Amino acid sequence: MSNEQILDSSLASNQGGELNDLSKRYLTETAKWARFLAILGFVVIGIMILFSVIISVAFGTIMGNSGIRTGAAPGIGIGLVYMLFSLIYLYPTLKLYKFASNMLDGIPAGNTGKVTEGFENLKSLFKFMGIFTIIIFSFYLLIAVAAGLMGALR
């Protein structure tokens, strides 16, 4: 019997597959904090997008006024990197917000469909964060290996 089947049968036999009041209270409090963090994340994303535009324009202006012939390309490049990071950050923030909204709508109403959808968004958030973490650690490992090879070749 798989862990999921054991959990399903345990829930069904103990409480009819429903959450008890303490679980509902914990999930509601968790969802409130998740909503707060998601809204804060949206604000940070907005600031990052604004910063990407400002740095693109400012860097281009500074480079143009200094007489360096590279033009606005470095500023636009930095701005695009910030824009990329803000777009990457948007997905987990959106999933966190959807988790919170579905939980806060579903728990008081007893709507198991909304609660399930909330958990689906939470699963997607953690899956994204896990994959993203693996990618970042892979880059760190690649950089460490490259630095080691460069040091060995000197």
Residue ranges covered by each domain of the chain: 30-153
Residue among 28, 50, 1, 6 at smallest CA distance from 115: 28
Place of tokens 């997607």: 124
3-state secondary structure of 11: helix
> Average pLDDT of 69-98?
86
Whether residue 6 has pLDDT greater than 50: no
Q: What confidence score (pLDDT) does residue 34 get?
A: 98
Residue among 35, 45, 135, 39 at smallest CA distance from 90: 45
> Average pLDDT of 67-88?
79
CB-CB neighbours of 42 under 10 Å: 16
Whether residue 62 has pLDDT greater than 80: no
Q: Which residue has the higher pLDDT, 60 or 127?
A: 127
3-state secondary structure of 20: coil
Q: Which residue has the higher pLDDT, 13 or 109?
A: 109
Q: What confidence score (pLDDT) does residue 83 get?
A: 92
